[in-house]
Structure 1
């Protein structure tokens, strides 16, 4: 999908609140008119004093100016309430769209993007978009209104003096265009480096136990210092661009004022211009001073906001389309792999011409050495990675043709690395599936061999596990993930090495429980623990990504092949452990 321009993308969000923005723009227009009326009132007061110093109604003019200033303040306050409130809503919408987009990407996307970079896009980039949609919009529109309004008022006083006063401004425009390009490039560089810096922090905090166990604190601090130093260098480069541009705008504004003082003063002395008109003209020119001085700041807000919007759009615009609601599969479907060859990006094939079938209600174990491709089978079946067309089938249909909701609604998938959220154990099992009752949670945990351990915790099922489940053991984490899969009563169970972190006795207990609980379901069990494979209806042995042999446990032992070799090795390991 082609990524739309950041300005067009932001406009789509802003137009959702066009009435609020319209109210804010109207307030800014009113504030501009009220501000421009002040120099005109001062002109009339000066001219009245020139005509009759003793009888001039100076108090009335002062009162009018105070009322105009008060009205200007109220109008500007209203504009900020309307537009900055809208910017908060734009931020809310952008954040929601970004998060929903992140949920739809496959693992290949997360292999290419660091979590730190995605977090930077989800935090600092969204904040920059909010500033652009709020304060940036107020500043930009105020600047436009100020230039248009003041320019019109100055022309009404004296067109030639206006032309002379604005003579330096083409130089300002040229500088602004050049600075805009540089600001964009350096803002992009700074934001990219912030993503790198965030990735360093996220990685080291997530692996803090490893960092401390291997006394890597010095190395981690040095890596962070290098990334932080590069971010400082890029930020300073951006700051230098702004610091050079802002004084130049002040210089140009000052030159305009000097020109007005010189030429305007001569016009007053020659009688071509009244003193009041010159005072008013200077007031209009002074009204332009702040927008001119703030032009660099406004440009930086606009450029950073658009750069951040571009980074966000790189995610939102390329996200896969949401899957429509789909009906679940009926019964326990068959699973079939047909001449499946699959390779991860820039790596040799993990699977080569793999073909076998799991019939409805059958349990098939897939075993093999580490790296033989067992986990890849489960990931492809769940379409966490997309398999080649015509290679993976569920219920006789290519998984690529099945809606994801239909496919994954039929799967109970337990990955090799079980993940728990930082919430209660009960919530980790149900995962928001309100139809799963507490007794179902308890029954699923009992099958997984973890219910009694949970109930011994002081808070029981309401115990809140730490981030990524670090406050429970690896074995408990894996068994809770198994309970999560069982609780949904799926038609297909895909279990990836769920016995890796339990002892032999607990493994026997869980295997026996699973034999009863999985009756009538289609089960694909990837494991290197052959005691669990022995309980399967059939065993598929993988070697270097290929099917080496297949059969029952007894048949494979009788053949004396790779499976028999693995069995003898595990038996020997158990005897050594018991000795």
Structure 2
């Protein structure tokens, strides 16, 4: 038995209908209002024909003979009253239909954007590392907006056109089969042309959406790396890059527009043929007495009412194809599944923070193992460090502890529980993480400090800042804790950002504190401040420190030395220096008692 294809592989409209089944009643109500609106929109032409019939035939008119109204003026009053009622109903149904369709479009846009963003947040760190941020932003913003525009305008236009064809066709059908045939002769041409153009436009607009994603990706990357661009005087080169991808987008759009624009002239020629046929044959029937003048005028007006709205079909088809290409991209994103599945267990209270790795093997995608059978134990309440040369596997080990990735073999245990069995909240709620690349959100210093614990009091926030030795420089800021930091905290120095990140982790009061190269990019003063802070905050909790500067971990209870993905050595600082192995060589290089290689003359 074959499994059902994912939503992104099915009809985009069908996927939307199934995905948003909770809005089906609203859709039905919107369709009903649009149907009433279309009927009221067609009715004035019929009433106009009835008025012409009154003027020409007098008491023998349709209104006079059917409704029993005597006198031409009285008959016109009746028609005027009916016309007023029709216009009121048309205006009211148009208002309600607009509210329903636009509200539906906004609601679906909102739901899909939030759902897509939620999906993006659930996906693994590895997925984000191999996926362009700009392309994700293009889906969350531009693609969702394309769908909103179609639901707001296009869907209603298609429905209005379809009902116009049905209602006008009914009037023609009860009048003359010859006129019906001639008036509707262009419709198959238009429908077949629509199908042909739809198939032709589908890959063109898929290319448009793809190039739009490239533009977003390039802009997002360049704006994020603006300081690097300036530092390497690469402004002209990057402008040329943006110009190139923007031109690709322009060319893709131009190809799609060239095809969609050719559709309107085709429709106009078909309309001309249908209108001319009705005008001539209908007039001939009037001359021969086979058709009343009033009815003839109705049919002439209705022919235009039938065919002229089809000129908008080209623009509507354009909206449709853009929206369907975007919908496929949205559902392709929603179809993404994280490799890591949320566990069901919670850590037993009180959480102590004991950490253990048993026979852990890990690698990226289909690549070779980066960690090769690592065994490591960090007893609760102790501070352990992981050191090693670049590429030894230090950051990969931390990914497994935080469960940004899962091992290929072996176990990572926190308080004796496999982290894969724990809920995200239980696992990461017990960990305070300080990365080398500190990320601060645009907002106040206090907002960033309390990010992991928004309910913290001002006193608790200040105490965490004092423990991280950040209170002094925060108080000196223009507005203290209420000072707004720029995007990514770029208005602060690297050392200040690092201390805020440490305070943010401390405020969460984690059982396990994890630091990834927290002092690698700071000055000596900041390094000393972080060391003093760590000495205080790790006294009552477990800490795992990945460090490049060995001076920051010399007081750790145990140091684990990684080499080529394996634990090569472990022990205290003094034990490892005395052993004369890898750690001793690293220490000698960093303290200047040995040279890394021959000097160059």
TM-score normalized by the length of structure 1: 0.94
Deviates more, 1:324-333 or 1:403-412: 324-333
Distance in structure 1 (CA, Å) of the matches to 2:317 and 2:425: 45
Written as runs of structure 1 = structure 2, the 5 A alignment for 1:352-363 is 352-363=372-383
**CA pair 354-180 structure 1, distance change in 2 beyond 3 A:** same
Query: Is the CA contact 2:347–2:422 (under 8 Å) kept in the aligned structure 1?
Result: no
Written as runs of structure 1 = structure 2, the 5 A alignment for 1:288-437 is 288-320=306-338, 323=342, 327-330=346-349, 331-345=351-365, 347-431=367-451, 433-437=453-457
Q: Which residue of 1 aligns with 2:494?
A: 474
Distance in structure 2 (CA, Å) of the matches to 1:68 and 1:290: 21
Q: Mind listing any 5+ residue stretches in structure 1 that lack a counterpart?
A: none
1:74 aligns with 2:74: no
1:56 aligns with 2:72: yes
Deviates more, 1:329-338 or 1:341-350: 341-350
Q: CA RMSD in A?
A: 2.4
**2:161 counterpart SS class:** helix
Deviates more, 1:15-24 or 1:83-92: 15-24
1:134 aligns with 2:137: no
Distance in structure 1 (CA, Å) of the matches to 2:367 and 2:471: 41
Query: Is the CA contact 1:413–1:493 (under 8 Å) kept in the aligned structure 2?
Result: yes
Displacement of 1:495 after TM fit? 0.7
Q: Which residue of 2 aligns with 1:551?
A: 571
Displacement of 1:324 after TM fit? 7.9
Written as runs of structure 1 = structure 2, the 5 A alignment for 1:130-529 is 130-320=148-338, 323=342, 327-330=346-349, 331-345=351-365, 347-431=367-451, 433-529=453-549
In the TM superposition, what whole-angstrom CA distance separates every residue of 1:460-494 from its partner, at most 9, and x where no partner exists?
11111110111111111122111111111111111
Deviates more, 1:437-446 or 1:279-288: 437-446
Deviates more, 1:258-267 or 1:419-428: 258-267
Q: Which residue of 2 aligns with 1:16?
A: 22
TM-score normalized by the length of structure 2: 0.90
**2:410 counterpart SS class:** coil
Deviates more, 1:474-483 or 1:259-268: 259-268
Q: Which residue of 2 aligns with 1:31?
A: 37
Q: Which residue of 2 aligns with 1:117?
A: 135
Match of 2:50 among 33, 36, 44: 44
In the TM superposition, what whole-angstrom CA distance separates every residue of 1:140-184 from its partner, at most 9, and x where no partner exists?
211121111111111122123212222232222211111111222
**1:493 counterpart SS class:** strand
Query: Is the CA contact 1:541–1:563 (under 8 Å) kept in the aligned structure 2?
Result: yes
Query: Is the CA contact 1:28–1:75 (under 8 Å) kept in the aligned structure 2?
Result: yes
In the TM superposition, what whole-angstrom CA distance separates every residue of 1:501-525 from its partner, at most 9, and x where no partner exists?
3333443343233223212322111
Query: Is the CA contact 1:412–1:493 (under 8 Å) kept in the aligned structure 2?
Result: yes
Q: Mind listing any 5+ residue stretches in structure 2 that lack a counterpart?
A: 61-70, 596-601
Deviates more, 1:497-506 or 1:525-534: 497-506
**1:494 counterpart SS class:** strand
Query: Is the CA contact 1:360–1:520 (under 8 Å) kept in the aligned structure 2?
Result: no
Query: Is the CA contact 2:51–2:76 (under 8 Å) kept in the aligned structure 1?
Result: no
Displacement of 1:348 after TM fit? 4.1
Deviates more, 1:77-86 or 1:523-532: 77-86
Displacement of 1:271 after TM fit? 2.3
Match of 2:584 among 559, 564, 575: 564
**CA pair 474-483 structure 1, distance change in 2 beyond 3 A:** same
Query: Is the CA contact 1:325–1:405 (under 8 Å) kept in the aligned structure 2?
Result: no
1:3 aligns with 2:6: yes
Deviates more, 1:523-532 or 1:37-46: 37-46
Distance in structure 1 (CA, Å) of the matches to 2:179 and 2:343: 66
Distance in structure 1 (CA, Å) of the matches to 2:343 and 2:273: 63
Distance in structure 2 (CA, Å) of the matches to 1:502 and 1:69: 74
